[in-house]
């Protein structure tokens, strides 16, 4: 039986764009965007700031994630719409 590697808990600060027409509320939009990345499990999302734009909302978020052993915080910026990601 293979042993699955453990995900590590990480607190991060993010700046990202969430489409205005995203399903659910703003928290769900942030969760959906981050959870779409392999190796990322979203545990908690706190909206810190919000800036409306024409087609989306720029959101600053403090989040608690669980990252796979091969995932890094910087990898989150490869997700479309994530402008900044840094450890807290």
At 37 the pLDDT is 86
Q: Does domain 8-87 have CATH number 3.30.70?
A: yes
Low-confidence ranges of the chain (pLDDT < 50): 1-3
The whole model's pTM is what?
Answer: 0.82
Q: Please write the tens of the pLDDT for every residue from 72-84.
A: 999 999 999 999 9
Which residues, 6 or more positions from 18, have their beta carbon under 8 angstroms from its beta carbon? 26, 29, 30, 33, 56, 57, 59, 81
Angle at 39 between CA 36 and CA 41, to 5 degrees: 70
């Amino acid at each position: 039986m293979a042993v699955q590697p453990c995900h590590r808990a990480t607190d991060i600060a993010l700046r990202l764009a969430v489409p205005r027409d995203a399903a659910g509320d703003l928290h769900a939009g942030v969760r959906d965007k981050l959870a779409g990345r392999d190796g990322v499990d979203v545990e908690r999302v706190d909206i810190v700031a919000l800036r409306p734009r024409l087609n989306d909302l720029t959101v600053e978020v403090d989040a608690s994630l669980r990252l796979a052993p091969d995932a890094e915080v910087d990898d989150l910026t490869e997700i479309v719409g994530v402008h900044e990601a840094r450890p807290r």
